[in-house]
Amino acid sequence: MNPELIDQLSGQLGPNGLPYTIPIHPNLVHLTLGLFIVAIAFDVVGVLFPLERPVFKLLAIPAARSNFFDVGWYNMLASAIVTFFTVAAGFYEIMLAQPAATGASAWGLEAMETMLWHGVGGVVLLAMIVGMTVWRGFQRFAWRKDRAQQVQWSYLIVGLLIFGIMFIHGTLGAQLAAEFGVHNTADMLLQEGQDPNALLR
Amino acid sequence: MSDFLPPLNEHNLPYPDTIHPIVVHFVIAMVLFAFLCDVIGYYTRNSRLYEVSWWNLFFATISIFIAVIFGQVEAGLAEPYAAAERTLNVHTLIGWSLSGIIAAITGWRYILRSRDPKQLPVSFLVIGALLSVLVFYQVYLGDKLVWVYGLHTVPVVDAIKDGVL
């Protein structure tokens, strides 16, 4: 974003370029990723249940197959709801980002390219998570309502592919934080030639 | 010691990026979602959500030990400057404590579930609320280490290497 436009808010922004000290987006990311990955993981556990039955028995943990599919559904639903807020917070914070215009990430991308890919990727992932939730809902409530195995293999495979996209996308986000220092108080103070050790005590 | 590790990169890590903040997804999200499911399950009398809660807690319990291991490795390589030290110490202390606390709460839940999976005492909801508060505080401290003090970020690691910090 044009620095002069960001200056319109300058009275409200702290040394990290935000009106608050801790960015919100990376915290909502914990919820999006944790819920999505565990949803797929428990559907896999549900599908492979016949193999696991002796293990749960050995550990004396009562386990019913349908409960694993419940986790797969509710966690996916929660991930879809949370991710609207994750993306909204992400766009708010990316519009206020002012990374240094020099240097490239470990993947050879400069700050602007990294921000653009991370922004577009966020919307794509939101669409995928919502799509997966709808797909999961059809399996649960219509197509496979009376089946012991509630999910299709194709759903799980697409889920695993999305893990891959999440890894790439998450690494771009991590590079914005830990390489370009976006919204990072100590990094931005150092960029201005100030001493975080003295100012952050 | 350094002979056994790959060379450290510009994040002062033997691998590309910090791993601890990734593993903690599975503690933060699962503990908070388990509590949410318990609350909704309690007020809607939907005992199916108690099972969802239990399995999320189960997953959180495994994850926190992995989170502590990576947290300890990355704390050891963080080279915190004086201003960041106190926060890192408190975060470490609460992190280790949480591994015991979450394991104990999951153990209690295992017993409650073995007795009657369709009932949940209010006392468990209270403990779940307290645990959620503690997790929030721990997340706040971890956020401070990354977003305020910038540990393991390239500019801070550079500044430490150059003796500026």
**Any idea where the domains of chain B sit in the sequence?**
18-161
Residue A91 CB-density burial (10 A; 0-12 exposed, 13-18 middle, 19+ buried): middle
Contacts of A98 in chain B (CB under 8 A): none
CA distance A177 to chain B (A): 7
CB contact under 8 A, A71 and B48: no
Interatomic CA distance for residues A22 and A9, integer angstroms? 18
B10: chain A residues, CB-CB within 8 Å: 106, 179
Residue B35 in this model has a pLDDT that exceeds 70: yes
CB crowding B17-33: b at 16 or more within 10 Å, else e: bbbbbbbbbbbbbbbbb
State yes or no: ipTM above 0.95: no
Given a cut of 90, whether residue A103 has pLDDT beyond it is no
Interface touch A34/B139, C-beta < 8 Å: no
Average pLDDT of the residues in B63-83: 94
pLDDT above 70: residue A34: yes
Cα A192 from chain centroid (whole Å): 30
Interface with A, mutate which of B10, B18, B25, B64 (most A CBs under 10 A)? B25
Longest CA pairwise span in chain A (Å): 65
User: Taking the model in full, what pTM does it have?
Assistant: 0.93
Quote the CA–CA distance of B22 and B25 in Å, as a whole number.
Answer: 6
Q: A108-131, pLDDT tens digit by residue? A: 999 999 999 999 999 999 999 999
pLDDT over 70 (residue B2): no
Q: Look at B139 and A27 and tell me if their CB atoms are within 8 Å.
A: yes
